[in-house]
Homo-oligomer: A and B are copies of this chain.
């Protein structure tokens, strides 16, 4: 499978990502193997509030890259995205324009109910695409909530998509989007308030501390639906890439991402090690005492931790 995958075989890629998604024993070995072949894809994070048009932008950017004969992988982690949506109660998935293109691989991952492991899995899926020769990997997530932001910011270039209704940028600032944005796209720019929104975003960006050497995020207007502003967006992503590569910032960025990845792998494993059947059972047995206020959550936690440290039945 690995051999096929490295050659870019779509079925092997799909199977590998499924392994990753289900966190199978096989996936660990697979990712180890593949790691040495990663680092060639350029990763672009696309994030923003629900309804900003992230999927449409992702779609159009993918098409643009295809015209340059680049292979494009898309990981969509967004409960409001048509890529992830599924056909739910008549809410039809918009057929993506790139869905049938052999040079595009789209994978959606559900964001609910995955107990926090999703951010790790999404990045691992991006590794699979990277190793199998996709030259641009786009990760689309809804930009509210820590784990969604984690995914988007695990990219080389992070694009934050807003709409005029997103207000004057203050909301974006509060939601933590200002810190992770390498560039802003103001989508649906034909709507009223677009110019004011751009102006106030730029004003806020002006307050960010930066030196002459540092990257200054810019704001672009798009109408992704109509294909307007797509080329400009791709060009600005390219300019950011050139900046990162030239300044050594790309290496620093990837290094800190790597650190984050190792931390996630460890937290994940600790969780599995800790909650063996014996300790899970013990926790359940103590809950009644707790409800009667005959113990407290902190002492129960301390007892379980004590047992774990003593190496109890790992």
Contact = CB atoms under 8 A, between A and B. Distances in A.
Interface of A: 28, 31-32, 35-36, 39, 49-50, 79-80, 85, 88-89, 91, 111-113, 116, 142, 144-148, 170-171, 173-176, 204, 207, 251, 254-255, 258-259, 261-263, 265-267, 269-271, 273-274, 283-284, 287-288, 290-291, 293, 296-301, 304-305, 308-309, 311, 314
A234 B304 CA distance: 40
A296 B35 contact: yes
B291 A91 contact: no
B32 A299 contact: yes
A288 to B, nearest CB: 8
B309 A314 contact: yes
Contacts of A263: 283
Contacts of A113: 176
How many monomers of this chain does the complex have? 2
Contact of A174 (B80, B271, B296, B299): B80
Given A262-B297, A283-B259, A112 B145 contact: no
A176 B301 CA distance: 29
Contact of A32 (B85, B146, B296): B296
Contacts of A204: 89
Describe A's contact surface by its main secondary structure: helix
Contacts of A39: 293
B304 A266 contact: yes
Contacts of A287: 255, 258-259
Contact of A297 (B35, B142, B146): B35
A173 B32 contact: no
Given A79-B175, A176-B79, A299-B32, A144 B50 contact: yes
Most chain B beta carbons < 10 A, residue from A258, A274, A308: A258
